[in-house]
């Protein structure tokens, strides 16, 4: 994960106001609405505080899982598609996508 997600409130562009280190916190700000998030994440993990969206991830994963019941393919293809959808939903829920 190497870029900041859009603002969770207005979908605006987010940027680092400050990247933290051992002494200072990381601050991310939305350029549109001014929403700010301060966290103790530093270095390559600086993105984690802002980008971590467990509720959003769960909603997306649930939507994929809900669609699984409507998948209909022939033979082995259906098994592969269902398996891929389940793996996709798991990754969504873990925030890996």
Q: Applying CB under 5 A, which residues contact Zn ion?
A: 7, 9-10, 12, 30, 32-33, 35
Please identify, using beta-carbon distances, which residue of 31 and 80 lies nearer to Zn ion: 31
Q: Report in angstroms how near the CB of residue 93 gets to Zn ion at its nearest.
A: 24
Q: Report in angstroms how near the CB of residue 89 gets to Zn ion at its nearest.
A: 27
Contact assessment for residue 57 and residue 94, using Cβ atoms and an 8 Å cutoff: yes
The DSSP-derived string for 15-65 is: EEEE---SSS-EEEEETTT--EEEES--GGGTTHHHH--HHHHHHHHHHHH
Q: Report in angstroms how near the CB of residue 5 gets to Zn ion at its nearest.
A: 11
């Amino acid at each position: 994960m190497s870029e900041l997600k859009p603002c969770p409130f207005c979908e605006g562009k987010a940027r680092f106001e400050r990247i933290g280190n051992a002494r200072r916190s990381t601050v991310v700000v939305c350029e549109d609405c001014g929403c700010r998030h301060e966290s103790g994440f530093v270095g390559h993990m600086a993105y984690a505080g802002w980008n971590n969206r467990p509720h959003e991830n769960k909603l997306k994963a649930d939507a994929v899982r809900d669609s699984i019941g409507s998948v209909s393919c022939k033979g082995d293809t259906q098994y592969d598609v269902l398996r891929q959808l389940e793996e996709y939903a798991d990754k969504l829920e873990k925030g890996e996508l």
